[in-house]
Amino acid sequence: MRKKDYRYIFILFVLVGLLAGCNKYLEDKPIQSLTTIDKLQDLQALLNNDINAMRYSANTTLAADEYYFPASVWSALPQPERGAYNWESENYLDAWRQAYITVNYANVVLQSLEKIEAGTVSQRNDIRGQALFQRAFAFYELAQVYCRPFSATANTDPGIALRTVPDLEVPSKRGTVGETYARITGDLIEAAGLLLPEQQYVSRPFQSSAYGLLARTYLAMGDYDNAFKYADLYLQKTTALVDFNDVDSTATPVFKAFTTEIAYRAYAISQILPRQPPVDSNLYKLYADDDLRKAVYFLKKPDGTSTFKGSYSILNGNQPFNGIATDEIFLIRAEASARLGNTQSAMQDLNALLKKRWRKGLYTDRVAANKEEALELILTERRKELVYRGTRWTDLRRFNLEGKNITLRRNIDGTVYELPANDKRWVWLLPLNVIQLSGMPQNER
């Protein structure tokens, strides 16, 4: 690899304040076999690098209401993790660091591709599409943590640093939330036109991966027409769902490495979740006894609590799956249909999913008389189906924009911490060393 290429990879470590913690990454040297970037295989190697792709922060799971910590466990956590649990982030680097590593690798690939003339048009398109997809996924994850949810004020609300070149001379500046989502959707729409139509590996995006992430993004934006459009494009290609009647709930791990529902494998990393905290009891109570997710997703402990074990990542609660899978897309199309007034279509999608989750022969199709009833059923099942996927935080933020007035609470040894609806802490502070190095404005408190 040329010195300039090494410099590009190092640049973002500097920009995001990784000097104190980047030794681990530098020592791993995942691409040390590359001497120059002059072949498409070199670019694919960068995209395949596990430090770069597939790993994202678990901040959106940490901040949501799917689990809790007993006081004795919470008090033993390092200060940044205790603060994350209580919505008092000060210098919590995980989300920023991991996402911008992905962004930088993607930008190196996009820039280097312009200088390589080898390969077929299809091969070059696929490389570009993968890089655009990975960058968009990282930008999306960052937006859920460091930006206000998309709303009428998106064109003035502070966004993220939309880095599109791996160049030290280009300063990091915050765009707006509107610009952030325009970049995410723009990258994904272009990627969908470039990626291969069929899946090669679960760790490599293909066309349906882009459709799925577009559906997720537009749902977060409250753009239900486009959420439906891209969920529908995805489901036109595949509707394969795992029948939980065929899943051994006692196996470890419960799911195989290449579950047929996965359109893109990604997982969340955290210092907190490996401690396997108890699942919120109100969430656990939502599952009926004949709902197979109760046994597939959760492990009942001797003390009466339950912990999550049903991740598609096969790493269970330690590094839960947060990629793209068909069950989520069914729920997106169902919700979008309901919000657009297509109640019958919405319930068809919901029932198609639930039949694969219920004990065989005991499921009765759910019915809804109107849009409101359909939405209530769909959103309840969305919460139950997508446990530990990182979607709950985004859902709560958009529900509160609609006036749901949801307040989160943590009770630690009798002391109650609250996160009221639309509080400024629904947006995390940028890490302090990022502010110091870049001069970007901090989020409000």
> What pTM does this model have?
0.91
**For residue 357, what pLDDT band results from cuts at 50, 70 and 90?**
very high
The DSSP result for 53-80, as a single string, is: SSEEE-HHHHTSSSB---HHHHHTS-HH
* Higher pLDDT among residues 92 and 364, named by residue: 364
- pLDDT of res. 338: 98
- pLDDT of res. 29: 35
- Please name each of the domains of the chain with its CATH number: 3-247+321-438 (1.25.40.390)
Cis (ω within 30 of 0) for the bond into 253? Answer: yes
Q: Is residue 358 pLDDT above 80, yes or no? A: yes
Find out whether 306 and 95 touch, Cβ atoms under 8 Å.
Answer: no
Q: Is residue 295 pLDDT above 80, yes or no? A: yes
Q: Is residue 393 pLDDT above 50, yes or no? A: yes
| Other CB atoms within 10 A of residue 117 CB | 7
Q: Is 61 exposed, middle or buried (0-12, 13-18, 19+ CB in 10 A)?
A: buried
Calculate the average pLDDT of the chain. Answer: 88
Average pLDDT over every residue of 184-204: 95
Instruction: State the Cα angle at 259 between 249 and 295, rounded to 5°.
Output: 20
Backbone angles phi, psi at 84, to 5 degrees: -65, -40
Average pLDDT over every residue of 26-44: 61
Q: Which two tokens stand for residue 39?
A: 């072949």
Task: Report pLDDT digits (tens) over 54-93.
Answer: 677 788 888 999 999 999 988 888 877 788 889 986 666 6
